[in-house]
Structure 1
Amino acid sequence: MEAEKSTDPKVVSSEIQDLLLDTPDVEAFLSELARHSASVLGSPDNEMLCGVTLLRHGSAGTVASSSERALKLDELQYRFAEGPCLTACKEGIQVHIPDLEKDKAWPEYGHAARENGVRSILALPIPLVDGTSRAGLNIYSEQPNTFDEAAVQRASDYAQQASKGLRLAIMIAQHSETAANLRAAMESRTVIDVATGIIVAQNRCTQAEALDVLKKASSNRNIKLRDIAAAVVESAGGGAIQSHFS
């Protein structure tokens, strides 16, 4: 039988760091993290299905899953708006269901999960430093009573280490989004400035008056200010405006 993969904090931390460095973007990292979770926590004779739920601004979604089946199991909870993983995320507590045949906490979800071949579930909160987000690691097994005390501890230790990589991934995604928004804002500002200059030259007016002309045209035509400015530049033969910044 294949040896049980290590959940030693140093080993897991190193492996997750390698995942983060070796994947091209945050989305790819999260997918690899889910597959890594399933590999580390499962065994050849007991496959695990893993998903990572992110709860942000009251809305829950799976940001990564080890397989399509794992994703479906997560989405069942969102459909019923109840389940162990949602509870783990919202309340920051560990939720363990040894056998869905005997569990009565979430009858609708439990019945649907059993129909999809699941018998035991372990849901673990993933600590995040982002005050607006909560996350959880969802682990599903086809076998009942999969998670004994040792297995629960292994999974809990793993989730603690995985949280570090997840926090970093979220930070990277937020910085990338901020950078993209800044770039878009700067591009808009550039074309508006050029259009304003053209109007100043054509009408011998002030910069403030030229900008007012653009704003009135934008309002009257119900077209974005940037698009009005781009049309002015194009009509003057300026072509597409390129913003140069790093």
Structure 2
Amino acid sequence: MAHRRIGIDLMEKISGVVRTSEELDSYVQDVCAVALNHFPACQGVALYLVLNGGMRPVGFTTRRESDEVAYLDPNDDECIANLRRPVKLAAVDRVRGSWPGFADFMDRQGFGTVLSVPLVVEDTLIGNMGLYAASPDDFDEVDVAVAGAAAQVCADTVAAALEIIDARGLAEQLETAMESRAAIEQAKGIIMALRGVTEDRAFEILRKSSQDRNIKVRTLAEQIVSGAVDLSSASSRR
């Protein structure tokens, strides 16, 4: 009964109505964060959507400090066949032969397995949700069932959104948003390390500095990551 209640709570949290590309970007990030928090053993969550004929990463979150996300090959027939399967647990060693790049990503992240859950609407694959963990034993049968139900809710929401949103340029918008978040996360990490401040304080410094320079937060973040701007002290303005 407790598992059922928890599952219902998860469904409620990821249900919603999405009408714009900005709302879709926010929604996929929320789904990743909610899923990560729901499954205690889960170490990372990635969400992919089929856009412009390709399987593209649109959301990723992890319990570790990382902005890397695995790219799946949309032209790989075996890859697509696996992504269509109802729910599949795959250990990293089992995917190494078919997807060496994906296996290398899992190795770097310290993931030992991925619970792959397709997003399917009316027998059409529109995406995939990957739940990453250290070991296949970290997910039990209830987790697998709940993940499948959550993926269906997500698929229905995304499919409804794609009927409203102009698909042209959507893939580029979502990828740009992901790149922006990655740069900001890296910049926050640099500021935290240099100044010894919390994550929230690091973002405040980043936001205030971008306002002082009259540039976007993402632009300043990219400059910090590249070394063009030094925010190691409050007086740094080069």
CA deviation vs aligned residue, 1:12-49 (integer Å, no higher than 9, x gap): 4432235859x962211221122122222x21xx2431
Q: Which residue of 1 aligns with 2:165?
A: 173
Q: Which residue of 2 aligns with 1:154?
A: 146
Aligned letter for 1:155?
A
State which of 70, 74, 81 in structure 2 corresponds to 1:74: 70
CA deviation vs aligned residue, 1:142-200 (integer Å, no higher than 9, x gap): 334222322211211221222222222323323898xxxxxxxxxxxxxxxxxxxxxxx
Contact kept in structure 2, 1:19 and 1:29, CA below 8 Å: no
Matched residue count: 165
Q: Which residue of 1 aligns with 2:6?
A: 6
Shift of 1:140: 0.7
- Change beyond 3 A, Cα 1:13–1:112: closer
Q: How does 1:185-224 map to 2 (within 5 A)?
A: none
Q: How does 1:48-197 map to 2 (within 5 A)?
A: 48-67=43-62, 72-75=68-71, 77-78=72-73, 86-89=80-83, 91-97=84-90, 99-101=91-93, 105-106=97-98, 108=100, 109-129=102-122, 134-174=126-166
Contact kept in structure 2, 1:119 and 1:144, CA below 8 Å: yes
CA deviation vs aligned residue, 1:176-228 (integer Å, no higher than 9, x gap): 98xxxxxxxxxxxxxxxxxxxxxxxxxxxxxxxxxxxxxxxxxxxxxxxxxxx
Which structure: larger Rg?
1
**What is the TM-score of this pair, normalised by structure 1?**
0.52
Measure the CA separation in 2 of the matches of 1:19 and 1:13.
Answer: 13
Contact kept in structure 1, 2:44 and 2:133, CA below 8 Å: yes
Measure the CA separation in 2 of the matches of 1:83 and 1:49.
Answer: 25
Contact kept in structure 2, 1:17 and 1:165, CA below 8 Å: yes
CA deviation vs aligned residue, 1:79-105 (integer Å, no higher than 9, x gap): x9769975444x3543211x3246655
RMSD: 3.9
List alignment gaps of at least 5 residues for structure 2: 170-238
Contact kept in structure 2, 1:127 and 1:160, CA below 8 Å: yes
List alignment gaps of at least 5 residues for structure 1: 178-246
Contact kept in structure 1, 2:87 and 2:144, CA below 8 Å: no
Give 3-state SS (helix, strand or coil) of 1:74's partner: coil
- Change beyond 3 A, Cα 1:175–1:58: closer
Shift of 1:119: 0.3
Shift of 1:64: 1.7
- Change beyond 3 A, Cα 1:125–1:88: farther
Q: Which has the higher contact order (CA 8 A, sep 6+)?
A: 2
- Change beyond 3 A, Cα 1:60–1:130: same
Measure the CA separation in 1 of the matches of 2:60 and 2:46.
Answer: 4
Contact kept in structure 2, 1:62 and 1:71, CA below 8 Å: no
Contact kept in structure 2, 1:83 and 1:106, CA below 8 Å: no
Measure the CA separation in 1 of the matches of 2:137 and 2:50.
Answer: 28
- Change beyond 3 A, Cα 1:114–1:19: farther
Aligned letter for 1:147?
F
Measure the CA separation in 2 of the matches of 1:84 and 1:64.
Answer: 23
Contact kept in structure 1, 2:89 and 2:136, CA below 8 Å: no
